[in-house]
Structure 1
């Protein structure tokens, strides 16, 4: 009943891909059940007003829901996708059809045209729509109106060629078993993804469809049909008792899984040891209030906090991922380092994400830069998921557009509006750091992956498959081209700005991205580096910088710092 509400909040920034969550498909059943609860109440409430007024009020409600859906896709796409208020108009379209006279007297050519136009709209949506599209919003109009046309044209007593086709017993049988098919198809696909990986071959997809159909038919024949036939003959208390007992058993099993944190004992020790390698970044997070009170996380090795620190890491979650490595190197090279990082916000001045209606990202970005400038560190490493701020993340998620940056001049996402927003914010931020006397190191992104290495590496080790490779060098360069071009131009314009690019350490001899080893995954998901990944992919790029910073510090102590000695 509330599955949609649960998933609207559980599919967060670090959630796994939707295709690997077996019960995800329950969200649509929840929306349907919620609609069935309130829709009859609306009809009862509107009944004294008459049929025409009821139709008008329902139509206005549908229009309001549609407008909310379109607006919500720019503000909170995940909530818009899952919740009833923004999906209600799709169901109300069918409700409004009940008030519409069937086209009994329409010419057959008109009904044929409407019927096949509707079917083309439905099939075209299934074929041409892709996961990265903004949906529902206006994109949902095509399949919804297609369904309306099919029902309208084929619902009369005068048949159309489409209604005769859909009346064939093979299609009717699919319709009879559709509920059971729906219940089975997604868990089977999800477990297939778990078994063989994120990308299924055509054969694997057909195998999953065949398995879903077989399971659906069996459950329809031996569970659904007997239940429907015998429901009126079964004592209510017996039915309720059976349902309660089944619910208690499922609840106890779920509690065991939750309390044991997923029954890790079922996995070999080697696989279990991989899991902690992607955790433990929380201590580096600097909230806005901490920054205002001058209390970010500090690696204090050589001087107290009130002295000028050697390095500040300013970043989003991508900065957070390299924080443990920087702490380790800071201790090794005896450098004072502070961490000004927070997941989900841009480490840039004057911008926020399009779905950040409260502009919390704007407040944090401004407070973070103010703090860094006030500390006047000798070095700043600026790390972020730059390409996502311009184009959104490449993975097909409900929150694909949540990363797009906006500002006061461009408060909504329109085409490529995020490009000038990002460039202006980067220029402002870097200029402020330069004016504070900082040496700025802008870290380019490591390769973003199409698969989830944190899932693929343990799976490969568990099953005995070879360690898979990630994206190619060409794919990485194409993805990062826009952001890297801006970074390179900034570095070329100032000696105080240098580029830190880990990509040279992220690819093998075949120019494929290295995503892990038998020790574990180098990523915690498709784009965030794990602790192990930072050691293997980022550390080689960081070492020369830390050696340089240590040398400068030693020279300062001896008052022997020649200006050109450490120029790059």
Structure 2
């Protein structure tokens, strides 16, 4: 991703292409602006794909040329990789470990040394692939998340040079053909898995290799040189347009990678192949872009932990002056890293090969030792007062049945029956917002000698006809409704979901919810709609712990009620009609908010275990009638 290919080997160099430095800037700036939440760059994540193509192109050029000239050395190749990658990476990981140990709360700290260990060993993509789920912590507490792409590259470069060496005896056509076949297989797998929700397609090499191989095929000469000036201009502008369309038109909801990844990859290929000698090539070679391109590796490394730590400390996404300050700091630290870390280590006169290998071994050993030591310390709770620890413990105030009962349909398990050991007369049907509510309702049911069924499926509101990115929601909901219809003993159906997520107030969605309620009532069942839970702009237990740490816990308050009401305007408009039809309404907004703001704690207990899921204490506050 970040290989510098101007130095070909011990004997030859090739002309420095300033337009490639500019293309690096075209890759890193969208990533930076996307991560910093700058409006208009919702597809900025495609910059990583551009980096993959550049890396495949430049480094394959080095390997193939050295092999063809009979002077390729794996030892020399890995020396160049270590020289390029390790110094800045090691310093960044060391800084992240230190800052995390000082800043992070229990429950957040434990993941950092694990990811540091994985990043040091270049397997962080595998770690982040497995580190998923409700309680693994989101990207906002993973300051080394950006290292996944480095891991993909280094895993690729373990086998790729060996493959080229083995293919050397068969000639250039066979070599290009085999590489092309592998690229097609990888692309095919990527497209087949584009609806994958496990993270495999995003994080792992088999579905990402084609992007590196796309650049490799260019370097191997599979596409003839473009002689006509007008055609080079057209190709270069088309490449720029393809990248721009991805950066500005894609967003977090785009199925990616997959077919959508073709735009930035083909765009990068077009610029690598067609830009030299064109207007676009001269634009890319402008000094500001070249300057950013030169520091792009360090900028990629440092910008993400700066954003993560800033947002963690402030409990707010970047905006306004903080956003500008972090962007400027990212550029400044990246330049310092490039000037005083990257540059000296690239100088073979100052840092001979033996020194590089010794440094790499020592740095990896030190980082592994520090990571293991921090892991052994666990949450290191002694750093904080009991008041702080009491607040952060709120993230564990979850249903004891969450792991067993949530997503039961998707796991092929039977729905849970909660409460007394009797035939259930109620069902809670919903998404993940229903889990703790089901637990509290089951406690009440048990006290009355009754029970209920929990049917909750992640990100699937209980709305017939609702379609997510895949078919699982429609299938799960259809199965739930069929179960209601088949069991006449179910007299009461609770509906719960993340109604205030900013998407579900769409007229078409609300109309489907209206039809779902009507369908349940047609079956002769009582409907209890549990309304919108006010979402907070921060992780609630963490925010309360930060306030407690600063001695300001008495200032705790949540989102403004007006903001919540603005998210459920169309839903709210139907409440009166539903109530007139004997639909029971439990309104979390009315029970958690006063006229101005919404509460986030009550009697010293956090009402949420993250930013929008109610804790058990929060669910109890919603289900119990106001005193």
Does the alignment reach a TM-score above 0.5? yes
Structure 1, unpaired ranges of 5+ = 395-415, 544-568
Structure 1 residue 523, shift from structure 2 partner: 2.0
Specify whether residues 524 and 97 from structure 1 end up closer, same or farther in structure 2 by C-alpha distance, changes over 3 A only.
same
Structure 1 residue 73, shift from structure 2 partner: 2.9
Paired with 1:449 and 1:175, the residues of 2 have a C-alpha distance of: 38
Q: Is the 8 A contact 1:118 1:145 kept in 2?
A: yes
Q: Which residue of the partner structure matches residue 560 of structure 1?
A: none
Q: Is the 8 A contact 1:112 1:160 kept in 2?
A: yes
From 503, 520, 529, give the equivalent of 2:614.
529
Q: Deviations over 1:111-151 (max 9, x none)?
A: 34443443454355444543343333333333222222221
Find out whether 1:500 has 2:586 as its counterpart. yes
Q: Is the 8 A contact 2:586 2:622 kept in 1?
A: no
For 1:234, what is the secondary structure of its paired residue? Answer: helix
Paired with 1:112 and 1:119, the residues of 2 have a C-alpha distance of: 11
Paired with 1:371 and 1:286, the residues of 2 have a C-alpha distance of: 18
For 1:11, what is the secondary structure of its paired residue? Answer: coil
Q: Deviations over 1:441-463 (max 9, x none)?
A: 23233233454334334334434
**Higher relative contact order by CA 8 Å / sep ≥ 6: 1 or 2?**
2
Q: Which residue of the partner structure matches residue 245 of structure 1?
A: 365
Specify whether residues 363 and 382 from structure 1 end up closer, same or farther in structure 2 by C-alpha distance, changes over 3 A only.
closer
Paired with 1:250 and 1:266, the residues of 2 have a C-alpha distance of: 18
Instruction: Give TM-score scaled by structure 2 length.
Output: 0.65
Q: Which residue of the partner structure matches residue 133 of structure 1?
A: 254
Q: Is the 8 A contact 1:340 1:368 kept in 2?
A: no
Specify whether residues 367 and 467 from structure 1 end up closer, same or farther in structure 2 by C-alpha distance, changes over 3 A only.
closer
Find out whether 1:90 has 2:211 as its counterpart. yes
Over the aligned positions, Cα root-mean-square deviation in angstroms equals: 4.4
Structure 1 residue 24, shift from structure 2 partner: 0.5
Range 128-137 or range 264-273, more displaced: 128-137
Paired with 1:488 and 1:41, the residues of 2 have a C-alpha distance of: 70
Paired with 1:508 and 1:225, the residues of 2 have a C-alpha distance of: 58
Paired with 1:115 and 1:316, the residues of 2 have a C-alpha distance of: 47
Structure 1 residue 472, shift from structure 2 partner: 4.9
Paired with 1:363 and 1:528, the residues of 2 have a C-alpha distance of: 21
Find out whether 1:322 has 2:437 as its counterpart. yes
Structure 1 residue 491, shift from structure 2 partner: 6.6
For 2:559, what is the secondary structure of its paired residue? Answer: strand
For 1:73, what is the secondary structure of its paired residue? Answer: coil
Find out whether 1:270 has 2:383 as its counterpart. no
For 2:401, what is the secondary structure of its paired residue? Answer: helix
Paired with 2:369 and 2:563, the residues of 1 have a C-alpha distance of: 52
Q: Which residue of the partner structure matches residue 339 of structure 2?
A: 221
Q: Is the 8 A contact 1:347 1:368 kept in 2?
A: no
Q: Which residue of the partner structure matches residue 114 of structure 2?
A: none
From 73, 77, 87, give the equivalent of 2:194.
73
Q: Deviations over 1:226-270 (max 9, x none)?
A: 33335534358744651353134223333234xx3x222323322
Aligned length: 496
From 507, 522, 533, give the equivalent of 1:446.
533
Structure 2, unpaired ranges of 5+ = 1-121
Q: Is the 8 A contact 1:448 1:471 kept in 2?
A: no
Find out whether 1:145 has 2:266 as its counterpart. yes
1:238-387 equivalent positions in 2, closer than 5 A? 238-239=358-359, 241-257=361-377, 260=378, 262-279=379-396, 280-283=398-401, 285-286=404-405, 296-298=417-419, 300=420, 305-306=421-422, 312-327=427-442, 329-330=444-445, 334=448, 336-342=450-456, 344=458, 366=479, 370=483, 376=489, 379-385=492-498
Structure 1 residue 14, shift from structure 2 partner: 4.6
Q: Which residue of the partner structure matches residue 62 of structure 1?
A: 183
Paired with 1:291 and 1:29, the residues of 2 have a C-alpha distance of: 36
Find out whether 1:105 has 2:227 as its counterpart. yes
Q: Deviations over 1:371-425 (max 9, x none)?
A: 996582554434344687x96899xxxxxxxxxxxxxxxxxxxxx8x88987777
Instruction: Give TM-score scaled by structure 1 length.
Output: 0.71
Specify whether residues 367 and 223 from structure 1 end up closer, same or farther in structure 2 by C-alpha distance, changes over 3 A only.
same
Q: Deviations over 1:200-219 (max 9, x none)?
A: 12321222222223332333
Structure 1 residue 471, shift from structure 2 partner: 6.0
Paired with 2:567 and 2:473, the residues of 1 have a C-alpha distance of: 31
Q: Which residue of the partner structure matches residue 306 of structure 2?
A: 188
Paired with 1:329 and 1:450, the residues of 2 have a C-alpha distance of: 31
Paired with 1:85 and 1:529, the residues of 2 have a C-alpha distance of: 38
For 2:325, what is the secondary structure of its paired residue? Answer: helix
Find out whether 1:199 has 2:317 as its counterpart. yes
For 1:181, what is the secondary structure of its paired residue? Answer: helix
For 2:454, what is the secondary structure of its paired residue? Answer: strand
Paired with 1:518 and 1:161, the residues of 2 have a C-alpha distance of: 66
From 106, 118, 125, give the equivalent of 1:4.
125
Q: Which residue of the partner structure matches residue 295 of structure 2?
A: 177
For 1:340, what is the secondary structure of its paired residue? Answer: strand
1:414-425 equivalent positions in 2, closer than 5 A? none
Paired with 1:375 and 1:129, the residues of 2 have a C-alpha distance of: 47
Paired with 2:461 and 2:563, the residues of 1 have a C-alpha distance of: 27
Q: Is the 8 A contact 1:311 1:337 kept in 2?
A: yes
Range 371-380 or range 81-90, more displaced: 371-380
Structure 1 residue 29, shift from structure 2 partner: 0.9
For 1:317, what is the secondary structure of its paired residue? Answer: coil
Paired with 2:203 and 2:565, the residues of 1 have a C-alpha distance of: 32
Q: Which residue of the partner structure matches residue 565 of structure 1?
A: none
Paired with 2:438 and 2:228, the residues of 1 have a C-alpha distance of: 70
